Amino acid sequence: MIRLDTKVAVVTGGSSGIGLATVELLLEAGAAVAFCGRSQERLRAVEATLRERFPQARLYCATCDVLDQAQVQAFAHAVEQQLGPVSMLVNNAGQGRVSTFADTEDAAWADELRLKFFSVIYPTRAFLPQLQRTSEAAVVCVNSLLAIQPEPHMVATSAARAGLHNLVRSLATEFSPLGIRVNGILIGLVESGQWRRRYEARTEREQSWEQWTQALAQKKHIQLGRLGHPLEAARAIVFLATPLSSYTTGSHIDVSGGLSRHA
């Protein structure tokens, strides 16, 4: 594992799932880490657990709505004051919206497009001055396979994810003269609270979590035969955020277990 003792990283949506797994990996590598989320109660519980596991860690967390530009700017200022200038930014926020074209209202379209774009735009804008002042700076955006393999029952999310896929490439081109790399990951079906809630609402009550997820993987034609784990996505994120991928920008890593039908 690469050592990151002199680096400062930020993870948005870092209190659960892929975001939390990324925070843990970065702390294990010695980085100073800041993360945010909307639930103060969850953040405090996660912070307490992390400080117990990593007593020597330089760690900062704060409530922040990434769709509120003023809150994001305040968070960026606080992070620099607490930990120093950031060299790694992980944009990780937003779940999917299940809807077809016929049943997606205008307000839902606006909400979904705003979430997927501005959850990246506001943090990137806020931390850009810090990234420019550090060496080996990188931005990583957590995206979905829907960006290149849309699903008709997730039309708004698929369209928004495709836009984010394009945005990553555009930012990589614009930021490369500044010494900042920009990449993303494309996740398939990864274990999360959302999937756990669907499991709890299942009709076949005798199925275990393992049986239910294996059946789901088979139905979705996932070649590895299971859902992904947050840690598996986090490993790809850390690779792209660190000098391990120093010659990579404008790219995406597929973390879908073979769900992708694209070469």
pLDDT at 196: 87
- Domains observed in the chain: 8-190+229-255 (3.40.50.720), 191-227 (no CATH)
pLDDT at 204: 81
pLDDT band at 153 (very low <50, low <70, confident <90, very high): very high
Summary mean pLDDT of the chain: 95
> Could you give the percent of the chain with pLDDT greater than 70?
100
pLDDT score of 1 more than 80:
no
pLDDT at 263: 56
pLDDT band at 109 (very low <50, low <70, confident <90, very high): very high
pLDDT score of 94 more than 60:
yes
pLDDT score of 16 more than 80:
yes
Listed as own residue / partner, the contacts of 151-156 with beta carbons closer than 8 Å and 24 or more positions apart are 152/100, 152/101, 153/98, 153/99, 153/100, 154/96, 154/97, 154/98, 154/99, 155/99, 155/100, 155/101, 155/104, 156/97, 156/99, 156/104, 156/108, 156/109, 156/112, 156/113
